Amino acid sequence: MITRDVVLCAGVDEAGRGPLAGPVSAAAVILDPARPIVGLDDSKKLTPARRDALDLEIREHALAWSVAWASAEEIDRINILQASMLAMQRAVAALQVRPTRVLVDGNRCPDVGCEVEAIVGGDGLVLSIGAASILAKVARDRLMCELDLAFPGYGFAGHKGYPTRAHIEALRRLGPCAEHRRSFGPVRACVQVIG
């Protein structure tokens, strides 16, 4: 039983601010101190195989976890920063256990209805934020592989929507698909050329 005086701290992070396509994902994780997970770190420092293994472990051992999204359309409508904040708010709201404190990677805090603190580099400093970074990254990478099947030719499974040379060439050749962020410069430039 969880008593009222226990501080339930959720770590929160996002993935996918820089890509030209796909949603931005965010995850929130409340770790269980009785079930420690070895190897949590900033998802960018881990191999895909290690992220996948830790993703499973986090889902099995955390007190609570959630993943939420803000779509490419929302990103275009409210901008990437606000869409990231929105995805983080959704992730915290979806937790099955309500946190009393939230720690967020970065320098901006979403409004989550409780005490919140931003920590620059938090995904490498705070275990729960590292766990959130892993869930957000794995979930988004998997979704981009699904979008690769839905929108063939762009190479989403390989570059995950990031502005690689191959992605820019595909954009120029095919034009943007429904998952492209039309407010981002390289996509907007292709729309203007094609349109």
pLDDT confidence bin for 2, thresholds 50/70/90: very low
| Contact between 117 and 129 (Cβ < 8 Å) | no
Q: List CB contacts of 36: < 8 A, sequence separation 6 or more.
A: none
Tens-digit pLDDT profile for residues 167-189 = 999 999 999 999 999 999 999 98
The whole-model pTM stands at 0.94
Give the residue carrying structure tokens 């993943």.
Answer: 67
Percent of the chain with pLDDT over 70: 95
Return the exposure string of 160-169: e unless at least 16 CB atoms fall within 10 Å of the residue's CB, then b: bbebeeebbe
What's the average model confidence in pLDDT over 130-153?
Answer: 98
Domains (ranges, CATH) in the chain? 9-152 (3.30.420.10)
**Residue 141 counted as an annotated binding residue:** no
State residue 195's pLDDT score.
47
pLDDT confidence bin for 145, thresholds 50/70/90: very high
Round the average pLDDT of the chain to a whole number and report it: 94
Tens-digit pLDDT profile for residues 42-85 = 999 999 999 999 999 999 999 999 999 999 999 999 999 999 99
Long-range contacts from 186-193, C-beta under 8 angstroms, 24+ separation: 186/20, 187/20, 187/21
**Residue 41 counted as an annotated binding residue:** no
State residue 193's pLDDT score.
56
Is a pLDDT exceeding 60 seen at residue 3? no
Percent of the chain with pLDDT over 90: 93
Tell me which DSSP letter residue 45 carries: G
**Residue 146 counted as an annotated binding residue:** no
